[in-house]
Structure 1
Amino acid sequence: MKRYCLALDLVDDIKLIEEYKQYHQSVWPEIKESISSSGIENLEIYLTGNRLFMIMEVNDSFSFEAKGAADLANPKVQEWETLMWKFQQALPGAKPGEKWILMDQIFTL
């Protein structure tokens, strides 16, 4: 099992952040299916202020490229992503259109 950690910012607006949290209390079933069918076995998102931190644990079948291609071909995922972009903003230094940024592990015990 491999673990990836990613970060993303939300728009710094308390009402939007609360709405974003509400959406994640009842994630659409199609989104959950797209996550689990891609080889992601566990996914957690944490929030501090307006910064999001995601931990993904994936099996050997997972690849970012395959997940990206499947997401582009899935209209429901595209609908969700468009909706979520209302709440999200790119991290400083992100490439155009880039959302979640893969983090580098710098310490382990």
Structure 2
Amino acid sequence: MKTKRYALACDLKDSPELIAEYIELHKNVWPEIIESIKAAGIEDMEIYNIGNRLFMIMEVNDEFSFDKKAEMDTNNPKVQEWENFMWKFQQELPMAKSGEKWMLLESIFKL
């Protein structure tokens, strides 16, 4: 099965305490969240941090779609609990629509 890669960005609130807590929480992500990520067709996911900016790389299989993932997340109370909790730490990127967290990045170079 061939995978596809997506890159996304999100900002954290510019608070060293909140950023440290966010990083600590991601060392032990809730098992239900890991399950939902895998069930959506995400084969691998990494999140990187610099300052208050987050960068995510997702490797997905042929079963993955952003619409399917959004529908699954909407219907999963534990994912909704996690996402609402994460808003304590996250904020929209300057160009995001209201309530939009992770924004898809456009690939502009590949070696």
Q: For this structure pair, what is the TM-score category when the shorter chain's length is used for normalisation?
A: over 0.9
- What is the match of residue 18 of structure 1? 20
- Deviation track 1:29-67 (CA, whole Å, cap 9, x = no partner) reads 000000001000000000001100000000000000000
Once the two structures are TM-superposed, the CA of residue 71 in structure 1 deviates from its matched residue by 0.2
Once the two structures are TM-superposed, the CA of residue 82 in structure 1 deviates from its matched residue by 0.5
The answer on 1:71 being equivalent to 2:64 is: no
Q: Considering only aligned residues, what root-mean-square deviation do their CA atoms show, in Å?
A: 0.4
Distance in 2 separating the partners of 1:97 and 1:49: 21
Q: What letter is aligned with 2:90?
A: Q
SS in 2 for 1:52: strand
Distance in 2 separating the partners of 1:73 and 1:57: 23
Q: Any unmatched runs of 5+ in structure 2? A: none
Distance in 2 separating the partners of 1:96 and 1:104: 20
Distance in 2 separating the partners of 1:54 and 1:96: 20
Distance in 1 separating the partners of 2:14 and 2:79: 24
Q: Any unmatched runs of 5+ in structure 1? A: none
Give the TM-score of the pair, scaled to structure 2. 0.97
- Aligned residues, how many? 109
Structure 1 residue runs of 4+, over 3 Å off?
Answer: none
Q: Structure 1 vs Structure 2: percent identity of aligned residues? A: 64
Give the TM-score of the pair, scaled to structure 1. 0.99
